Amino acid sequence: MVTNGFFIYIFFFFTLLYQTVPCGKFLCIVGSGPAGFYTAQHLIKNEPNIEIDMFEKLPVPFGLVRYGVAPDHADVKNVINTFTSIAKSGRLQFIGNVTVGKDVTLNDLRTAYDVVVLAYGAAQDRWLGIPGENFENVVSARKFVGWYNGLPEESNLQLNLNVETAVIIGQGNVALDIARILLTPIEILEKTDIAQHALQALKESRIRNVKLVGRRGPLQVAFTIKELREMIKLPEVSNRIHLEDRDYIEACIPKTSRPRRRITELLLQSANTKQAEVKDAPKQWELIFHRTPVEIVKSENQRSVEGLVVGINRLKGDNWENPQIEDTGLRETIPCGMIIKSIGYKSLPLSEELPFDHIRGVIRQKEGRVEGMSGVFCSGWVASGPVGVIASTLQSGHDVGKRILEDLRKGNCASSTEKPGRDVILSQLATKGVEPVTFVEWETLDNEERERGKNQKKPREKIIDVREMIDIAKKAQS
Amino acid sequence: MRRVSHTRNYIIRKSKERDRKLRLFASTLPAGALFRITGACEGTLSCSTCHLIFKKEDYDKLPDKPSDEEMDMLDLAYGLCDTSRLGCQITLTESMDGIVVTIPAQVADARNR
């Protein structure tokens, strides 16, 4: 009797285990940046009965942490340690070098997995839509950052740094990152993990003056104070902050929140520094406000850029946080030899069936659930738009993770049949000759990059060519 | 990945706004040991995920005032208030045992400030 009772107890115990996730246990995440990893983190911590596969287009993981964060911001990349422990937890399998949308389709994934989480970020540019935007030496910030960070597809970016003045359109943190990389002394850059081709180009760069041009005013700068301080402290670099109505700004300050007050005070204080004190600085950056790009011009003899024509704005309305921008009709030309557009990014739909908002460049979703596609979720920039630091993506990942578990536990599932999981996908990939890269193989590549970095006194020497990445990654196994 | 041990009572109450979103880790805790709470950037003042809110009287008693660098990162934190600190910059000691800190539920984009 006791024995029977014992077995009945065990039976119910195991039934209960299965009951926690009635809909199934195979999940996949598309994208291995912060959004993918933080969503995975939430799922792993809160649900023992699921397995997660993480697909990534490149052979290497970590997304913008590897390819977006500036080379001289190494501490921000510490999150890689967190992601590495998630990848090695035994609950997640990294499958790199697989392009969803090409090697496998969204439908293939929905057939194989109970849940699909789209976390593939925003890899497209936004466009100003002005004449001359296609000229040489006019590039998006996204491409420029990819170039100095060793993103394979930008390694051959055509840039002419043999000019004196670069204009950056936009006043966010990405704009400051680019200005800082253009002006930082080479002795500092050469000790970072900046891509070798970029380091070489920057050694030969003639750029002395970087102008950051924004439509709005000092009270609306989108960059944050830490990054502004870094700019002010750049060695051998002076700055010029073009303030037009200091009294108005000072009057607004008491009405602002602490963060806005502190950064505005820092701007005012820096604008006070007399130019004479730093007149011998060989390089300079400038903040130019109230200017909207209207046209890019080049001289008739040259193929490259000569200047940016801008319209002069005034700001209206009582809401200084979100003022209306009014064109005064006045125009001026800012001479320059290079233009970098730092105006944000967009996503693209991974498949035609994906409900997509083409104006905002995001997937149509509510609370992470993709509209009209049960079992499909999205997380990070592809869901919210390309705004936010890693900390906000952490939040997004955990929120979406919660919704996924809610749905799985309620029984709101894609179907009642059992899903096959990763094997069917892997055999499909094998038939197509795709070579998936595992996390252990990434670690081989990781070690090689660090080894090569040692010779150059850099934390790592990033490998730029995808074929080389795969060959090195798989070398230990051959 | 180790969690804060609640029996130490350094943190005894979570925000009413529900779950913590930060990942807390504590260094090893033999009796009387000091520890710090760190977040995503591992205590390097590169994020705001270890944001803690103290009561005024406890805040005033914290030995080290926040540096400009800490204030800069705090400016990005959701729910910022006058008694906010970044946990990674505070060495917690036995004398602080039992104090109550609030951990805000969310982290938010810096540009919403």
Q: B111 to chain A nearest CA, in Å?
A: 6
Would you state the pLDDT for residue B92?
Answer: 66
Lowest-confidence range among A293-307, B21-35, B66-80?
Answer: B21-35
A-B CB pairs within 8 A amount to: 77
Please tell me the distance from the alpha carbon of residue A263 to that of residue A208, in angstroms, as a whole number: 25
Residue in A386, A370, A389 with CA at minimum distance from that of residue A378 = A370
Name the one residue in this structure whose structure tokens are 């970020």.
A121
* pTM greater than 0.80: yes
> Is residue A27 a contact partner of residue A1, using CB atoms and an 8 Å limit?
no
A288 forms beta bridges with: A213
Residues 6+ apart with CB under 8 A from A61: A32, A54, A83, A87, A94, A96, A439, A442
Strands A138-140 vs A124-125: parallel, antiparallel or unpaired: unpaired
The residue assigned the tokens 């997640």 is: A92
Q: What is the dihedral of CA A314, A315, A318, A323, to 10 degrees?
A: 160
Separation between Cα atoms, residue B47 and residue A76, nearest integer Å: 7
Tokens of A152: 């394979």
Residue numbers in B near A225 (CB within 8 A)? 72, 75
Residues 6+ apart with CB under 8 A from A360: A385
Nearest to A391 among B40, B42, B111 (CB): B40
Per-residue pLDDT at B12 exceeds 90: no
pLDDT of residue A57: 98
Which token pair is A171? 């006043």
Residue predicted with more confidence, B78 or B6: B78
Identity at B9, one-letter amino acid code? N
* A177 contacts A218 by C-beta, under 8 angstroms: no
Which residues, 6 or more positions from B97, have their beta carbon under 8 angstroms from its beta carbon?
B8, B9, B10
A220 touches chain B (CB under 8 A): no
Q: What is the mean pLDDT of chain B?
A: 64
Q: What sign results for the dihedral spanned by CA atoms A415, A421, A427, A430?
A: positive
Structure tokens at B75: 């400016």
Q: How confident is the model at residue B97 (pLDDT cuts 50, 70, 90)?
A: low
Report how far residue A349's alpha carbon sits from residue B99's, in angstroms, rounded to the nearest whole number. Answer: 49
Q: Are A242 and A289 in contact (CB under 8 A)?
A: yes
Q: Which two tokens stand for residue A348?
A: 């693209």
Q: How far, in Å, CA of A256 to CA of A290, rounded?
A: 20
Q: Which CATH class name applies to A24-123+346-436?
A: alpha beta
- Cβ of A395 and B111 within 8 Å? no
Given this model, what pLDDT does residue B5 score?
29
Which pair of structure tokens corresponds to residue A466?
Answer: 């995808």
Tokens linked to A162: 């043999």
* Mean pLDDT in residue range B83-93: 82
Chain A residues touching residue B17 (CB < 8 angstroms): none
- Residues of A annotated as binding site for NADP(+)? 171-174, 215-216, 227, 388
Angle at A442 between CA A437 and CA A446, to 5 degrees: 155
Q: Which residue has the tokens 């890689």?
A: A80
* Cβ–Cβ under 8 Å, residues A395 and B79: no
C-alpha span between A459 and A447 (Å, rounded): 11
Mean pLDDT of chain A: 91
A208 Cα to chain B: minimum distance (Å):
28
Neighbour count for residue A108 (Cβ, 10 Å): 16
Q: How far is CA A48 from CA A25, A97, A399, A439, B88, in A?
A: 9, 28, 18, 21, 30
Q: Are A136 and A306 in contact (CB under 8 A)?
A: no
If you measure CA to CA, which chain B residue comes closest to A389?
Answer: B109
pLDDT at B32: 33
- Other beta carbons within 10 Å of A427: 10
- Which residue type occupies B95? S
Task: Tell me the pLDDT tens digit for each residue of B38-72.
Answer: 578 888 899 988 888 888 998 998 888 999 999 99
pLDDT (0 to 100) of residue B98: 66
Q: Which residues contact B95 (CB under 8 A, 6 or more apart)?
A: none
Work out whether the CA dihedral A273, A268, A177, A307 comes out positive or negative.
negative
DSSP assignments along B39-66, one per residue:
-TT-SSSS--TTEEEE-HHHHHH-SSPP
How close B61 comes to chain A (CA, Å)?
22
CB A345 within 8 A of CB A381: yes
Residues in chain B: 113
Cα Rg of chain A, angstroms: 25
Question: For residues A342 and A293, is the Cβ–Cβ distance under 8 A?
Answer: no
Q: Using an 8 Å Cβ cutoff, are A464 and A198 in contact? A: no
Distance from CA of A223 to the nearest CA of B (A): 8
The length of chain A is 478
Question: For residues A75 and A35, what is the distance between their CA atoms, to the nearest angstrom?
Answer: 19
pLDDT digits (tens, 9 = 90+) for A42-65: 999 999 988 999 999 999 999 999
Q: What is the DSSP letter of B95?
A: G
A312 forms bridges with which residues in the sheet? A291
Listed by start position, the domains of chain A span 24-123+346-436, 127-343
Torsion angle defined by CA atoms of residues A95, A62, A184 and A389, in that order, rounded to the nearest 10 degrees:
150
Question: What is A356-412 written as a DSSP string?
Answer: EETTTTEE-EETTEETT-TTEEE-THHHH-S---HHHHHHHHHHHHHHHHHHHHHT-
Supply the CATH classification number for the domain A127-343. Answer: 3.50.50.60
What are the residues of chain B with a beta carbon less than 8 Å away from any beta carbon of chain A? 1, 21, 23, 39-42, 44-49, 68-69, 71-73, 75-76, 80, 106-111, 113
Q: What is the predicted pLDDT for the residue at B61?
A: 87
Q: State the pLDDT at residue B110.
A: 34
The domains spanning A24-123+346-436 and A127-343 adopt the same CATH topology: no
Contact A263, A225 (CB under 8 A): yes
Cα–chain center distance at A186: 25
Tell me: pLDDT of B27 over 70: no
Spans of chain A, pLDDT less than 70: 1-24, 273-280, 412-417, 476-478
Question: Residue B7 — pLDDT band, cuts 50, 70, 90?
Answer: very low
CA distance A391 to A76: 10
> Is the CB of residue B89 less than 8 Å from the CB of residue B4?
no
For residue A363, what are the β-bridge partners? Answer: A356
**Confidence band, pLDDT 50/70/90 cuts, at residue B100:** confident
